[in-house]
Structure 1
Amino acid sequence: MEILGKKRKGGVSWAELEENCISTILSFTTVKDVCSLAAVCSSWRFAADTNLRIWVDDFTGRIASMIPARDLYIVWGDDSSYWEWVRRDDSRFEHVARLRYVWWFDVWQRLNCNILSPNTHYTVSFIVRMDKNSVGYGNLSSRYGYGHLSSFIFSVVRPDGVRMESARFLDDLEKSVETHGQGFSLTPLSQDENGWIEFVAGEFFLEEQRPCEGAKEIEFSMKNIDCTFTKSDIWVDCVKIEPKH
């Protein structure tokens, strides 16, 4: 590891590389390499912490990951009329996404599973919260008379292509979704002391990749495309992929 601080003739040392260059290099290495490099060089550790968002889970010893809101696909997320990017002291990241209002709520992403640990059972969770005047309280729908609130659908497409779906009503987190003709199970959730809610969108088992196989991917989403009412004041922090305990 001593080479990290040395400079070759006519070149630059590892420590002089730009953060985005380091992040690109790290993306082509294994998670084990990333953890080793981050342990011996502060600039590599910073790049790993702020861009790849990976760590070793203390309970299982397996790799976990977080994808910040900035790295998610958010429909109309780049239009300040609908979404804004805000700093919050209770977030892990520099900015979180705050929904002003939309009719069509759709947040999703794909993940290359090469950064994760093989032979591991994972859960995928959306970390979000709602304000008092959000869709969860029904203010806008009742004000404009645009019908009943419908549930938000959480989904995960596993590496084998199988889709898992569940749902929650954000106006009443305990309301059953099975009795409303939608046929979904109730999305598991937990809430921390700051009000952030962790919705478990699904689970998957990551098998060992065979030499002849391509990269394994998962896809995950949180959406409500019922355009009979507006959605507002929902905060999106990140998506967490962690080994199941």
Structure 2
Amino acid sequence: MDNTIDAVLPEECIAAIISLTSPPDACRYSLLSRIFRSAAAWDLVWEGFLPPDYQQIISQSESSVSSLLNVLPKKDLYFHLCRNPILIGNGNMSFSIDKSSGKKCYMLGARQLFVIWGDNTLYWKWVSSAESPVLAQSRFSEVAHLIQVCWFHMGGRFETKILSPNTKYGAYFVYTLVEDHFSGLDYPVKVSIEFENENEGNATNEAYLLPDTPEGLNAQVPRWREDMWLEVEIGEFFNGQVDRVVKMQLRETEVLNWKSGLVVHGIELRPKE
């Protein structure tokens, strides 16, 4: 780009042009010159990168959080939402945005999932995340600890109408293990994702839950996240213009060995490149 542009065009025109690009481009343009750096920080630019309904979503968070976010410059708000998921609704779901695209990311907390035998204290224990004996800190108030089950089955449902349209999403099971106190998790679990009451998008695969599982086993393997939780992919789907309900499940009901030591954080939906 010709660096003489900033001597010809007013700053508001440069800001309008940058707003037609992308968040990574806006950051790159800010390095060209002083006026480009100023124009790339305009609210006009970053308002367009935020989801269209971001104000409505923020209003679902706690009033103190909502008040703080509403006074931030739009660029600061954008990067805050990239780095700091906010709790919305009943506090069992979180919202953030993808750093490179501004598209929506959601996580269903463990309390928002269906957990077979989850209300039986012989098999599952719901504990405060602050009291959980694992190093990874949950963004939600509670996590689910697996005491012991031989029939493992859990999952979640999500209405696609609140996701970013025309976007391919991945669904990820987010969890960790109680160090030196887990067992029976060597076998893969069946993972599936489908649109409710439809055949499209129905796919069942296998996934391993132990972090030291080698790749190349024709199954999904977990990876460590920056927040020190583990995640394994359940599947992917394309969110078009039609409102649907996507259903995600994890199941191990064939080997029927006793399993224990799993700590469930939730299921995350985020855009895939």
Do these two structures clear the TM 0.5 threshold for a shared fold by scoring above it? yes
Indicate which of 241, 245, 253 corresponds to 1:225.
253
Structure 1 segment 12-161 matched on structure 2, within 5 A: 31-35=53-57, 37=59, 42=64, 48=88, 50-89=91-130, 90-131=137-178, 132-135=180-183, 150-158=187-195, 161=200
Which residue number corresponds to residue 205 of structure 2? Answer: 166
Summarize deviations over 1:3-23 as a string: whole Å, max 9, x none: xxxxxxxxxxxxxxxxxxxxx
Q: Rg larger in 1 or in 2?
A: 2
Which residue number corresponds to residue 7 of structure 1? Answer: none
> Unaligned stretches of 5+ in structure 2?
1-51, 68-85, 131-136
Q: C-alpha distance in 2, partners of 1:114/1:200?
A: 22
Compared CA separation, residues 37 and 85, structure 1 to 2 (3 A): closer
Q: C-alpha distance in 1, partners of 2:101/2:215?
A: 33
Give the counterpart letter for 1:57 in structure 2.
Answer: D
Q: 1:105 deviation in Å?
A: 0.4
Indicate which of 227, 237, 252 corresponds to 1:204.
237
RMSD, aligned CA = 2.9
Relative to structure 2, which stretch is displaced further, 63-72 or 82-91?
A: 82-91
Give the counterpart letter for 1:217 in structure 2.
Answer: V
SS of the residue corresponding to residue 91 of structure 1 reads coil
> Unaligned stretches of 5+ in structure 1?
1-29, 138-148, 178-184, 210-214
Indicate which of 229, 236, 240 corresponds to 2:268.
240
Q: C-alpha distance in 1, partners of 2:195/2:255?
A: 28
Q: C-alpha distance in 1, partners of 2:265/2:228?
A: 12
- TM-score of the superposed pair, with normalisation by structure 1: 0.68
- TM-score of the superposed pair, with normalisation by structure 2: 0.62
Q: C-alpha distance in 1, partners of 2:106/2:228?
A: 21
SS of the residue corresponding to residue 139 of structure 2 reads coil
Compared CA separation, residues 103 and 59, structure 1 to 2 (3 A): same
Summarize deviations over 1:146-176 as a string: whole Å, max 9, x none: xxx5321121114763222222344562275
Q: C-alpha distance in 1, partners of 2:126/2:265?
A: 10
